[in-house]
Amino acid sequence: MNIVTALLKTSIGKKIIMALTGAVLIGFIIGHLVGNLQIFSDPEKINAYAHFLQGLGPALWLIRLFLLLCVGLHIWMAVLLWCENKKARSQSYTASHTIQASYASRTMKYSGFIVLAFILYHLAHFTVKATNPEYNEMMWTLADGTVVPDVHLMMVAGFSSLTVSLFYLISVGLLSFHLSHGFQSMFQSVGLRTETWGRALKVISIVLSLAYFAGNAVIPLSVLTGKVSRPDSSIEAVAESVSSHLNTPSG
């Protein structure tokens, strides 16, 4: 606890916390993307993968809480640093840094909050299913006979909506934009960025952010264009099931 308190007292300490939490979050979003790309395989694969994660039980919730803590700390440090910079900024600082700052770095605070809104919606949409309770009716029987949530069908149904897909593409675009600067900043904050390989690091960050965007964008685009689909009867059956439950009078 003393270490955390000491870090919070200095700008360098706050940047280190941002770098460490950023590294955790970058690892998570890449892993999350790899998992989502299984939508291009047989539904059995991604549904079995989702079932495996759910089978972690309390460990999964500990992971989720840890990730939420990282998100909270990352945003908190960003806000504190932005407030400090605003107060301490001088004309000399502006002259020597603003010119070199990329557009991505100057808009980090805006894209960050928009991405946060997207994360909350994404959780409500696919994890909690608050926005689409009919997803609770989508089930899949695995090869071993276990009945599990049909994540594949949920994704197809969700991204079949042009509005949802556009919002997803815009948000992932902003997250990729955020990543293009954050990846470089992470190394600089912990003193690992040097002039020798600074240019190479910039190229790597751009390639990484573009690859991340492309990997995410191909999912809703494939659903919208019919490259990834499920029989219409699957979605219609769920709609009829939900409708029948809503119309059945309570005892």
For residues 58-75, give the mean pLDDT: 88
Count CB-CB contacts under 10 A for residue 203. Answer: 10
Is the pLDDT reported for residue 75 higher than 80? yes
- DSSP tag of 250: P
DSSP lists the bridge partners of residue 148 as 140
Residues of the chain above pLDDT 70, percent: 78
Residue predicted with more confidence, 125 or 142: 142
Percent of the chain with pLDDT over 90: 30
Confidence label for 236 from pLDDT (cuts 50, 70 and 90)? low
What's the mean pLDDT in 80-101?
A: 59
* Gap between the Cα atoms of 123 and 6, Å rounded: 34
- pLDDT (0 to 100) of residue 233: 52
Give dist(CA 108, CA 73) in Å, integer: 15
CB 17 within 8 A of CB 77: yes
Q: Are strands 147-149 and 139-141 parallel, antiparallel or unpaired?
A: antiparallel
Query: Of 202-206, 212-216, 222-226, which gets the smallest average pLDDT?
Result: 202-206
132 phi/psi in degrees, rounded to 5:
-140, 75
* Cβ pair 144, 55 in contact under 8 A: no
Give the number of domains in the chain. Answer: 1
CATH number at residue 128: 1.20.1300
Residue 98 pLDDT class (50, 70, 90 cuts): very low
- What is the Cβ-side half-sphere exposure of residue 69, based on CA atoms within 13 angstroms? 8
By CB neighbour count within 10 A (0-12 exposed, 13-18 middle, 19+ buried), where does 202 fall?
A: middle
Q: Which residues pair with 147 in a beta bridge?
A: 141
Cα distance from N-terminal residue to C-terminal residue, the chain:
55
Residue 90 has pLDDT above 60, yes or no: no
Pull the structure tokens for residue 139: 């089930």
What is the extent of the structural domain holding 73?
Answer: 2-247
pTM for this model (two decimals): 0.77
Strand ranges (DSSP E) for 62-138?
A: none
Question: Does residue 127 have a pLDDT over 70?
Answer: yes
* Integer CA distances (angstroms), 110 to 19, 77, 103, 132, in order: 18, 15, 12, 28
